[in-house]
């Protein structure tokens, strides 16, 4: 039994790292603009399909797709921003409808270009088992867990130490006051969308490297990212990490101790419980520690 639980914890941690990578971009944009980008999952998926194209067309490792995915996804992210910036009234609400529509367009574009087939990496190196004592995983899972942690650390440093990062936080706290301090909110918002695009690009390549992708998969990614963002509390990077790990571990333990059929239920139950007990999320404004 202990071996089962240890493996479940390990799988949960790795899965949590993957969730964190998907959720970071959404959390950043939510924190900056109070906008839930419902097309975020589709941006992640776009990067995953770039990895598929690079691997299937050129026979290269999915890792080589990262530069191409970065450019394409960042361009798409900025386009989404420009569409959102056209909203004149009730931006928070109307952006939901707008980005949901963008998500549908992107899903169907992916379907038209890459067809509805199930895709995944054929790289043997990525899929090979990596065994540490009683812990089993694929190499790609560990690799992208490390990448996820590094990106999270980098983002935390960028937000707390760099000028632009602090500008993002300032706009997030008080847009008008930031303006008075000489910060251009529009530029700052574009920067946060670009950074979200960068994170989505890495997340997409990661998903292709250890999972399975299909055109309709983007929506599920957005939902997962949204749950973690709410669990974390608006704009909290450590919160995203804790929320994602919590969700990953809760799901893995549910599978091990009960049934996988209950996995999604437990995730949603956790989400509702946190909303009920801590409406601002685990690390939200009221009790932010990060």
Partner 1 sequence: MNRISSKIGLVAAALSLHVGGAFADEILVGAEIPLTGSLARVGAGMHEGISVAVDVFNKTNGKHTIKIVTADDESAPAKAIAAVEKLAGDGVVAITGGYGSNNIGPASDAANKLGLPYITSGGVAENLTERGYKTFFRINNTAGYQKAMVGLLDTMQIKSASVVYSTKEATADLAKDVEKELAAKGVAVTLHAFDPAITDFKPIINKVRLQDKPEVIVMVGYENDYVGILRAAKVLKPKVKAMVGVWSLATPKMASDFPDLMPSVYGTALLPFPAEFQTEEGKRFADTYMKLYNKAPDYLGQFGFVQSMILFEAIARAADAGTLKSGGIAQELARTDRQTLIGRVQFSDKGDNLNFVHRMGQHQDGKIAIVWPSDAATGKMNFPGVPW
The H-or-E segment that residue 137 falls in is: strand 135-138
Q: Which residues are within 8 A (CB) of 80 and not within 5 positions of it... i.e. 6 or more apart?
A: 37, 39, 43, 99, 102, 193
Interaction of residue 37 with partner 1, rule CB under 8 A = no
Among positions 227-286, residues that touch partner 1 (CB under 8 A) are 252, 255-256, 259-264
Residues paired with 129 in a beta bridge? 138
Q: How many Å is the Cα radius of gyration of the chain?
A: 19
Q: Does 99 bind partner 1 (CB under 8 A)?
A: no
Q: Whole-number minimum distance, CB 266 to partner 1, in Å?
A: 10
Contact status: 215 vs partner 1 (CB under 8 A): yes
For partner 1, the binding residue among 32, 37, 95, 107 (CB under 8 A) is 107
- Taking CB under 8 A as the rule, does residue 117 contact partner 1? yes
- d(Cα 147, Cα 152) in Å, to the nearest integer? 8
Question: For the window 163-202, what string marks contact with partner 1 as x by the rule CB under 8 A?
Answer: ----------------------------------------
Binding to partner 1 (CB under 8 A): which residues in 120-139? 120, 122, 124, 127, 129, 136-138
Q: Which of 75, 101, 115, 184 binds partner 1 (CB under 8 A)?
A: 115
Give residues with Cβ within 8 angstroms of 259, minimum separation 6. Answer: none
Q: Is 148 in the site for partner 1 (CB under 8 A)?
A: no
Best CA proximity match to 281, nearest among 27, 21, 97, 74:
27
Question: How far is 124 from 209, CA to CA, in rounded Å?
Answer: 10
Q: How many residues bind partner 1 (CB under 8 A)?
A: 39
Task: Give yes or no for a contact between 62 and 205, defined as CB atoms under 8 angstroms apart.
Answer: yes
Which residues of the shown chain bind partner 1 in the complex (CB under 8 A)? 3-4, 7-8, 11, 14-15, 107-108, 111, 115-120, 122, 124, 127, 129, 136-138, 210-212, 214-216, 220, 252, 255-256, 259-264
């Amino acid at each position: 039994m202990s071996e089962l639980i240890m493996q479940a914890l390990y799988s949960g941690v790795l899965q949590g790292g993957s969730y964190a990578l998907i959720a970071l971009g959404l959390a950043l944009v939510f924190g900056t603009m109070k906008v839930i980008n419902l097309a975020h999952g589709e941006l992640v998926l776009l990067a995953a399909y770039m990895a598929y194209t690079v691997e299937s067309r050129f026979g290269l490792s999915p890792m080589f797709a990262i530069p191409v995915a970065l450019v394409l996804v960042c361009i798409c992210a900025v386009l989404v921003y420009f569409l959102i910036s056209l909203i004149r009234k009730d931006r928070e609400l109307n952006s939901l409808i707008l980005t949901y529509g963008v998500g549908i367009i992107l899903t169907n574009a992916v379907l038209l270009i890459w067809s509805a087939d199930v895709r995944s990496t054929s790289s043997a190196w990525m899929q090979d088992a990596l065994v540490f004592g009683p812990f089993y995983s694929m190499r790609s899972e560990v690799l992208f867990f490390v990448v996820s942690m590094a990106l999270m650390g980098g983002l935390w440093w960028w937000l707390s130490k760099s000028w632009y990062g602090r500008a993002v936080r300032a706009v997030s706290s008080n847009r008008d006051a930031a303006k008075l301090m000489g910060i251009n909110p529009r530029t700052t918002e574009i920067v946060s969308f670009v950074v979200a695009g960068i994170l989505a690009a890495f997340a997409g390549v990661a998903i292709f490297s250890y999972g399975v992708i299909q055109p309709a998969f983007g929506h599920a990614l957005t939902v997962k990212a949204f749950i973690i963002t709410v669990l974390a509390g608006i704009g909290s990077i450590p919160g995203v990490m804790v929320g994602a790990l919590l969700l990953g571990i809760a799901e893995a333990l549910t599978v091990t101790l009960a049934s996988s059929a209950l996995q999604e239920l437990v995730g949603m139950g956790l989400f509702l419980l946190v909303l009920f007990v801590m409406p601002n999320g685990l690390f939200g404004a009221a009790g932010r520690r990060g």
